[in-house]
Amino acid sequence: MTLNGASFVDANGVALDVKASNVGQPSAGVITMSYSGVEAVSVKNEEVLYTMTLKAEKSMLLSEMIAINSSVTKAESYNASLEVGGVSLEFRTAPVASVELYQNEPNPFRGQTTISFAMPTAAKATLSVFDVTGKIVAVRVVDASKGMNSEIFTREQLGATGVLYYTLESGDFTATKKMIIVE
């Protein structure tokens, strides 16, 4: 698998006993994986075999970030009769049912942090940051798009250290989370 703008973090088995040790990285931007079992595993259609966690290092489409190929390990699968099958990726976007505010990352942070939120439809959203006394430290009015949205805040923009709170407001939705800036 080639990775463009992403890096491998972890692999965890669901129906298969897959671990990070099943994954190798022979060179930058390339990962390879192999798994074998003593007995065949039967799964239902759409059942998850394992999950692989990757970290995005750029803002781009997943379909441009990840590609399967046979440059290191042949991209193939096998059924219970040992017949060779293919391996492919399918990119799907899960629908967002309601507005969701996520924990900032990293948290705690020193230099900068990213606050992400998901929107079911494109709409205006207000992201406000407060100190522990309730004083507004920063406010951003965002023309949020449908799906995932992210805003980056630097320590200099917030001008504070210690515990801060951030609130997302959009329509009738309001949610607040805590973040910590360390020296």
Which domains are present in the chain? 2-85 (no CATH), 100-181 (2.60.40.1930)
Asked whether 173 and 167 are in contact (CB, 8 A), the reply is no
Q: Give the per-residue pLDDT at 47.
A: 83
Residues of the chain with pLDDT under 70: 92-95
Beta-bridged to residue 15, according to DSSP, are none
pLDDT tens digits for range 124-172: 999 999 999 999 999 999 999 988 899 999 999 998 889 999 999 999 9
Nearest to 1 by CA among 72, 80, 91: 72
Q: Please state whether the predicted TM-score (pTM) of the whole model is above 0.75.
A: no
In this prediction, residue 150 carries a pLDDT of 92
Return the pLDDT at 148: 87
> CB of 149 within 8 A of CB of 181?
no
Q: What are residue 96's phi and psi, to 5 degrees? A: -95, 120
Q: How far apart are CA 67 and CA 1, in angstroms?
A: 5
